[in-house]
Chain A
């Protein structure tokens, strides 16, 4: 499987956020997106997840399952928000996503117990999600990546609110996923400690923003 982005650019309102971004990711490769706040990391990830339409350019998947219309159908997206309901228990949340998302062809999701063990919180799956601390909530959101199999993971600041131990645990999850032939695209400041990593540094349009400021 190979994910190719060609000449991507995106706008928010009237302003161009980034322009002409291209990359190729093969199976077992990770792309780390870095850059200062406001440089368009999240926007890029939302474009990759199919949640924003790119202004130009396109995203292609080679050697993937034939019936896929957009690579987003093979992707997990972990954004700033955890996509878990505070009122439901962790187990209810995870089993809902497991059943709702299903597995992509070519893999099988972990069972609920395996998933909560993988994130190191096996004892609190019966609690309502809202009772957990911010770090625990983030870890459970990562367990969501495991319960439904998707070859591509798109992660936006995945390690925010995590302690050092959880950081390592997360790097371990990513490594396992890459080892199984997955693709990971992550916007993060923390080094993931991986060998086969490509890096994309986003600078943003500081000069453009400056010009705009003078006009106003």
Chain B
């Protein structure tokens, strides 16, 4: 299982891997916003957390469709289905590796992009923390979509459409937690707890559902 984790990490860093694509997309989206909105610093800092979260959400959806499709294309998926190790562990490890390669860089890049949006230190810190807690949920939800669309040649957009409604709660609680951190009356902890709960929930449900979908897609 550790071997699978490191293989997937290596693959995403090598040529043709998707590790940098997500971050570049994230940077592009966020860097363009100030030009579109105009030089209103107050407005930018007000919408900053939401923009960062939307950018991160879309960026983490970007490479998801290849999660199982690449394995299917070269026949590796067949071998993974045949093993004694339960498929859901395999799916879980693949999700973890995918998040480490594409989600974690988003978290690391977010402070820099927070500066673009004229955000305060607290807002940047809160955004980083909520992204760290919330983006794994997007990967686990996305794994289900990726598994359902595994045999479709152009499943990319379909995966995003399937996954987005389920990822909306992550976005809502992520953004509301950041606003709770910068605006005084609202408490910070409850939305963060709910966000963590969503991530844990999908960390269990996602691999189970994705494994079931892969089994049925195998013919």
Give chain A's interface residues, CB within 8 Å of chain B: 12, 46, 49-53, 68-69, 72-73, 75, 77, 79-88, 92, 95-97, 99-101
Contacts of A69 in B (CB 8 A): 84
- Find the residue from B2, B16, B83, B84 having the highest chain A CB count within 10 A: B84
From A53, A73, A82, A86, B83 is in contact (CB under 8 Å) with A73
From A52, A53, A87, A96, B15 is in contact (CB under 8 Å) with A87
- Find the residue from A49, A79, A83, A88 having the highest chain B CB count within 10 A: A83
Q: In the complex the two chains form, is B75's CB within 8 Å of A83's CB?
A: yes
Given contacts A73-B84, A85-B11, 19 further A-B contacts (CB under 8 A): A12-B219, A49-B78, A49-B82, A51-B82, A51-B218, A52-B218, A72-B82, A77-B79, A79-B75, A79-B78, A82-B74, A83-B75, A84-B74, A85-B74, A87-B16, A88-B7, A88-B14, A92-B10, A101-B83
Closest to B2 in A: A99
Q: In the complex the two chains form, is B10's CB within 8 Å of A77's CB?
A: no
CA distance A85 to B16 in the complex (A): 11
Contacts of A79 in B (CB 8 A): 75, 78
Closest to A144 in B: B79
CA distance A97 to B74 in the complex (A): 14
Q: Is B213 an interface residue (CB 8 A)?
A: no
CA distance A16 to B111 in the complex (A): 59
Secondary structure call for the A interface: loop
Q: In the complex the two chains form, is A52's CB within 8 Å of B219's CB?
A: yes
Q: In the complex the two chains form, is B219's CB within 8 Å of A81's CB?
A: no
Q: Is B17 an interface residue (CB 8 A)?
A: yes
Question: Measured between C-beta atoms, what is the minimum distance from B109 to chain A in Å?
Answer: 24
From A87, A95, A97, B79 is in contact (CB under 8 Å) with A97
CA distance A53 to B219 in the complex (A): 8
Q: In the complex the two chains form, is A50's CB within 8 Å of B11's CB?
A: no
CA distance A100 to B219 in the complex (A): 23
Question: Measured between C-beta atoms, what is the minimum distance from A57 to chain B in Å?
Answer: 16
From A49, A77, A100, B3 is in contact (CB under 8 Å) with A100
Q: In the complex the two chains form, is A50's CB within 8 Å of B219's CB?
A: no
Q: A46-B219, A81-B74, A88-B14 are in contact. Are A51 and B81 (CB under 8 A)?
A: yes
Contacts of A97 in B (CB 8 A): 79
